[in-house]
Amino acid sequence: MNLLEIKYNWKAPVVSGDIPHGDMPGDKIEIREEHIQKATKIFPELLEQLLPVFEAEESPRAVITVCGGSGVGKSEIASLLSWYFTQAGIGSYTLSGDNYPHRIPQYNDAERLRIFREKGLRAMTVKNLLDPERMEQIRKWQKEGTDADSAHGEIYNWYQTYLRGGREGLAEYLGTSREIDFQEVEEIVRQFKTGSQNIWLRRMGRTDTDLWYEKKDFSNVQVLIIEWTHGNSGCYQGVDIPILLNSTPQETLEHRRTRNRDSAVDSPFTMMVLELEQELLKRQAYKAKMIVSKKGELLTYEEYEKQMGK
């Protein structure tokens, strides 16, 4: 397999009809021209970066991650890259990291909210700011689903302690091994890179009965693509080429509205979660082998930092 030869002779095939996508049950992708333009720019560079990876392995296999906020088109671009590999004669499979939290989405959302509220109240007790009247006001906002709204803190100075404590508690949970089974993902990566022909993969839907495993045949797969917000996390090992697709919390929110993935898609709490995930992505960005801007530009880390206003 001569990757450089494939690179120099490669021409982006015309995308028509449905193409295979990640293995998250019920997930939908909507490939638009902007996704095709980004994937077409990424793919030749990816082939070049794969060359030393394949040369270092006894049986050439590589793991790529496409990470970033959901609003940036992560699923679509990962699907396109995987399809491009297949069209170029390189076996590829797209794995969705969203199959590997410890809890189904409904329960994980509830756990996130529980942590935020518990830590917020605890912070107020530490500073002796809680009394029956304030507790009643907090309960009212909790019932309304607005207790994560920063506007309350602008009106009531004492409420900033609740918001700050809840946010800090949430940051200690999101994207960590408390929320996600990174060990299982790392074991899949290990099995793949050591040449396993068949690997059991988890499937997770949105109810407590939608959890099962399927055995996937990897005998003709040379590239495993993991599409996942947390694909560049330091909580697991074995990734060869992390690709970061940059986005803003506002873009992520708009994408979630389009996909309608939860009923409280634009709530203050959801916005807080998106902001914290964005901060996590920024802290991990230095490890990415490729960073792609919102406009489809390939950025160095220094250019990325400049764009993000650091």
Nearby residues of 243 by Cβ (< 8 Å), 6 or more positions away = 42, 46, 64, 65, 66, 67, 288, 289, 290, 291, 292
Residue of higher predicted confidence among 22 and 136 = 136
pLDDT higher than 80, residue 202:
yes
Report the pLDDT value the prediction gives residue 19, as an integer from 0 to 100. 87
Q: Exposed, middle or buried by CB within 10 Å (0-12, 13-18, 19+), for 299?
A: buried
Answer yes or no: is pLDDT of 185 > 60.
yes
For residue 127, name the pLDDT band (cuts at 50, 70, 90).
very high
Average pLDDT, the chain: 91
pLDDT at 192 (0 to 100): 97
Domains along the chain? 3-101+181-307 (3.40.50.300), 105-171 (no CATH)
In angstroms, the CA 191 to CA 199 distance is 7
**CA gap 246, 278 in Å, rounded:** 9
**Pairwise CA distance, residues 275 & 191, whole Å:** 34
State in Å, rounded, how far the first CA of the chain is from the last one: 41
pLDDT tens for each residue of 279-295: 999 999 999 999 999 88
pLDDT reported for residue 248: 63
pTM of the model: 0.91
Instruction: Answer whether residue 57 shows pLDDT above 90.
Output: no
Residue 274 pLDDT more than 60? yes
Backbone dihedral angles phi then psi of residue 145, each to the nearest 5 degrees: 75, 25
Instruction: Give me the sign of the Cα torsion angle 292, 298, 302, 304.
Output: negative
Mean pLDDT to the nearest integer, 60-64: 95
Can you give the pLDDT at residue 64? 98
For the segment 18-53, what is each residue's pLDDT rounded down to a tens digit? 888 889 888 888 899 999 999 999 999 999 999 999
φ, ψ at 226 (rounded to 5°): -105, 115
Q: How confident is the model at residue 266 (pLDDT cuts 50, 70, 90)?
A: confident
The stretch 148-171 carries a mean pLDDT of 98
28 versus 100: the higher-pLDDT residue is: 100
What are the structure tokens assigned to 151, written together?
Answer: 């506007």
| Percent of the chain at pLDDT exceeding 90 | 74
Ranked by mean pLDDT, the top range of 10-14, 34-38, 304-308 is 34-38
Q: How confident is the model at residue 262 (pLDDT cuts 50, 70, 90)?
A: low
